[in-house]
Structure 1
Amino acid sequence: MKTSVEPSAPRLAPLRVPAFRRFALANLVSTTGSAMAPVALAYAVIGQGGGAGSLGVVLATNSVPTIVFTLVGGVLADRLSRSRILFLGNLLAATAQGVLAALVATHHATTASIAACGFGSGIAVAFTAPAAAGVVAQVVAAEHRQQANALLRLPANAVKVLGPVVSGVIVAIGGPAWALSWDALSFLAAALLLLGLRLSAPVTTSSALADLRAGWSGFRSRTWLWTYTASGTVVVAAWLAGFQLLGPVVAAGHYSGARSWGLVQGAFAFGLLAGTAVCLRWRPYRLLAVAVLTGAGLCLPLAALGLGLDLPWVLLAAVLAGIGLDITIVAWNTALQLHVPQEELGRMSSFNGVGERIAIPLGYLATALAAHAWADRTVLLVCAGAVVVATVLNLCVRDVYRVNRV
Structure 2
Amino acid sequence: MTVGDQGASPLRSPAFRRFLLAQLVSATGTAMAPVALAFAVIEQGGGARSLGIVLAANTVPALVLLLVGGVLADRVSRSRILFLGNLGAGAAQAAVAVLVATGTATTAAMSVCACASGAAAAFTTPAARGVVSRLVAPGRLQPANALIRVPRNAVKVAGPVVGGFVVSLAGPAWALGWDAVTFAVAALLLAGLRLAGAGPAGGQRAGLVAELRHGWAGFRSRVWLWSYTLSGTAVVAAWLAGYQLLGPLVAERSYAGAGSWGLIQGAFAAGLLAGTFVCLLWRPRRLMLVAVVTSSGLFLPLAAMGLGLPLLWVLGAAVVAGAGMDVAVVAWSTAMQQQIPDAELGRLNAFSSLGEQLAIPLGYLVVAVASAYWSGGHILLVCSAVILAAGVANACVRDVRRIRRS
**Structure 2 residue aligned with 1:139:** 135
C-alpha distance in structure 1 between counterparts of 2:376 and 2:96, whole Å: 28
C-alpha distance in structure 2 between counterparts of 1:44 and 1:376, whole Å: 29
How do residues 358-397 of structure 1 correspond to structure 2 at under 5 angstroms?
358-371=358-371, 374-397=374-397
- Are 2:199 and 2:205, in contact at CA under 8 Å, matched by a contact in 1? no
Distance 1:316 1:122, change over 3 A: farther
- Asked if residue 405 in structure 1 is aligned to residue 393 in structure 2, the reply is no
SS across alignment from 2:47? coil
How much does 1:158 deviate? 1.8
Q: CA RMSD in A?
A: 2.8
What amino acid is aligned across from residue 293 of structure 1 in structure 2? V
How much does 1:176 deviate? 4.4
**Structure 1 residue aligned with 2:303:** 303
C-alpha distance in structure 1 between counterparts of 2:109 and 2:369, whole Å: 22
Among 47, 50, 57, the residue aligned to 1:50: 47
- Asked if residue 82 in structure 1 is aligned to residue 78 in structure 2, the reply is yes
Among 148, 156, 159, the residue aligned to 2:144: 148
- The count of aligned residue pairs is 396
**Structure 2 residue aligned with 1:290:** 290
Unaligned runs of 5+ in 1: 1-7
How much does 1:60 deviate? 4.2
SS across alignment from 1:79? coil
Distance 1:63 1:367, change over 3 A: farther
Among 194, 200, 204, the residue aligned to 2:196: 200
SS across alignment from 1:199? coil
**Structure 2 residue aligned with 1:4:** none
SS across alignment from 2:196? coil
- Are 2:6 and 2:138, in contact at CA under 8 Å, matched by a contact in 1? no
How much does 1:116 deviate? 4.2
**Structure 1 residue aligned with 2:241:** 241
How much does 1:360 deviate? 1.6
Among 5, 20, 27, the residue aligned to 1:24: 20
**Structure 1 residue aligned with 2:95:** 99
How much does 1:370 deviate? 4.2
What amino acid is aligned across from residue 50 of structure 1 in structure 2? G
**Structure 1 residue aligned with 2:161:** 165
Distance 1:42 1:260, change over 3 A: farther
How much does 1:175 deviate? 5.2
- Are 1:164 and 1:265, in contact at CA under 8 Å, matched by a contact in 2? no
For each residue in 1:46-82, what CA deviation from the matched residue of structure 2 results, as whole angstroms up to 9, or x when unmatched? 675634x665555444332222111101110010010
C-alpha distance in structure 1 between counterparts of 2:160 and 2:305, whole Å: 18
C-alpha distance in structure 2 between counterparts of 1:176 and 1:243, whole Å: 25
- Are 2:6 and 2:139, in contact at CA under 8 Å, matched by a contact in 1? yes
Among 130, 134, 141, the residue aligned to 2:126: 130
What amino acid is aligned across from residue 354 of structure 1 in structure 2? L
Identity level (%): 61
- Are 2:199 and 2:343, in contact at CA under 8 Å, matched by a contact in 1? no
Distance 1:190 1:299, change over 3 A: same
For each residue in 1:356-379, what CA deviation from the matched residue of structure 2 results, as whole angstroms up to 9, or x when unmatched? 222322323343454466544443
What amino acid is aligned across from residue 235 of structure 2 in structure 1? V
For each residue in 1:120-161, what CA deviation from the matched residue of structure 2 results, as whole angstroms up to 9, or x when unmatched? 322222111110111111121111111111111123222222
Q: Which has the higher contact order (CA 8 A, sep 6+)?
A: 1
How much does 1:20 deviate? 1.1
SS across alignment from 1:404? coil
**Structure 2 residue aligned with 1:3:** none
What amino acid is aligned across from residue 160 of structure 1 in structure 2? K
Distance 1:377 1:118, change over 3 A: farther
What amino acid is aligned across from residue 388 of structure 2 in structure 1? V
C-alpha distance in structure 2 between counterparts of 1:187 and 1:352, whole Å: 25
C-alpha distance in structure 1 between counterparts of 2:380 and 2:264, whole Å: 15
How much does 1:340 deviate? 0.6
- Are 2:73 and 2:81, in contact at CA under 8 Å, matched by a contact in 1? yes
TM-score of the two chains, using structure 1 as the length reference? 0.87
What amino acid is aligned across from residue 399 of structure 2 in structure 1? D
**Structure 1 residue aligned with 2:349:** 349
Distance 1:345 1:77, change over 3 A: same
C-alpha distance in structure 2 between counterparts of 1:81 and 1:272, whole Å: 31
- Are 1:241 and 1:363, in contact at CA under 8 Å, matched by a contact in 2? yes
**Structure 2 residue aligned with 1:269:** 269
SS across alignment from 1:358? helix
What amino acid is aligned across from residue 206 of structure 1 in structure 2? R
Of the structure 1 ranges 264-273 and 53-62, higher mean CA displacement relative to structure 2 is found in 53-62
SS across alignment from 1:36? helix
Distance 1:295 1:39, change over 3 A: farther
**Structure 2 residue aligned with 1:219:** 219
SS across alignment from 1:338? helix
Of the structure 1 ranges 377-386 and 180-189, higher mean CA displacement relative to structure 2 is found in 377-386
SS across alignment from 2:131? helix
